[in-house]
Amino acid sequence: MARLSLKKIVKRFKETEVLHGIDLEIGDRELMIFVGPSGCGKSTLLRLIAGLDPISDGTLSINDKVMNNVPPSKRGAAMVFQSYALYPHMNVYENMAFGARLMGLSKDEVKRRIAEASRMLRLEEYLDRKPRQLSGGQRQRVAIARAVVRKPDVFLLDEPLSNLDAALRADVRLEIARLHREIGGTMIYVTHDQVEAMTLADRIVVMNNGYIEQVGSPRELFETPANTFVATFIGSPK
Ligand code: ADP
Ligand code: MG
């Protein structure tokens, strides 16, 4: 069974079509990495999966249930944004609790999950702090923890490391791998870092101009790129 299934997904903003019929199936526990040039539609696709934007055409299913018109809090998908998008006036605990409460969880269950997520992301000492009192790396971990608290079946990360410096990036990269093991769900991770894609992914999705050029394991893409675009993007010798 596919955890996530996309069938002929189209997205238009007014007259402009930016996704032209995306077909993709993602299995349980897969770590999928999306790569592609800026503007090719990666963030748009993630927002559609998370339910933050309506789909123009096509069918999106999670666990075999059609999700096209299901609100974000009821989809079993959670997204971590590039900008972190933490609520500045709430402390770390409240930031984590907010989305979980929208799901209708009890206060006790939210508390239990926050304890677990803050242990997982080493945030126990920072629960009282406001986002502005945290470093970039700590804010990043809060953004991830906030999604972990929702225990999503589909975990979406949109270039969450691009604001961090190189040392922090390496650190968070390990964290992503660990997180994927620990949450045990399906993870979709957008990055423009080739090394990240090649070392972390079960499969890589190469996007270009609102289309998928190729889907495959890092090795498949490297050894048998479908076309010059993929070869150049992946950095294979062909
Ligand atoms: P990526 O994340 O791969 O850089 P995006 O998904 O952000 O690309 O954007 C894909 C295309 O859709 C771009 O041409 C962008 O300008 C356009 N786009 C994204 N969001 C909107 C919007 N809200 N209104 C109009 N066009 C948009
Ligand atoms: Mg983007």
Q: What's the confidence (pLDDT) of residue 45?
A: 98
Rounded average pLDDT over 125-132? 96
What are the b/e assignments for 143-169, b being 16+ CB within 10 Å?
Answer: bbbbbbbbbbbbbbbbbbbeebeeebb
Evaluate: CB of 41 within 6 angstroms of ligand 1.
yes
Strand partners, 17: 12
Q: What's the confidence (pLDDT) of residue 163?
A: 66
Rounded average pLDDT over 45-49? 97
Q: What's the confidence (pLDDT) of residue 237?
A: 62
Tell me the pairing of strands 31-35 and 203-208.
parallel
Q: What's the confidence (pLDDT) of residue 168?
A: 67
CB 159 within 8 A of CB 80: no
CA–CA gap between residue 161 and residue 13 (Å, rounded):
27
Q: What's the confidence (pLDDT) of residue 86?
A: 93
Q: What's the confidence (pLDDT) of residue 57?
A: 98
Evaluate: CB of 228 within 6 angstroms of ligand 1.
no
Q: What are phi and psi of 32, to 5 degrees?
A: -100, 135
pLDDT higher than threshold 70 for residue 104: yes
pLDDT tens-digit readout, 66-96: 999 999 989 999 998 877 789 999 999 999 9
Can you tell me whether residue 169 is helix, strand or coil? helix
CA–CA gap between residue 215 and residue 188 (Å, rounded):
13
Evaluate: CB of 46 within 6 angstroms of ligand 1.
no
In sequence order, what DSSP letters do the residues of 41-106 get, joined into one string?
Answer: SHHHHHHHHHTSS--SEEEEEETTEE-TTS-GGGTTEEEE-TT----TTS-HHHHHHHHHHHTT--
pLDDT tens-digit readout, 136-160: 888 988 999 999 998 899 999 998 7
User: In this predicted complex, what is the ipTM?
Assistant: 0.98
What is the pTM for the complete model shown? Answer: 0.92
The rounded Å distance from CA 174 to ligand 1 centre is: 29
The residue with greater pLDDT, 138 or 235, is: 138
CB atoms within 10 A of CB 100: 23
Token readout for 207 is 């996007």
Residue among 20, 42, 44, 205 to mutate when testing ligand 1 (max atoms within 8 A of CB):
44
Token readout for 212 is 């998928």
Rounded average pLDDT over 95-116? 92
CA–CA gap between residue 201 and residue 184 (Å, rounded):
15
Strand partners, 35: 206
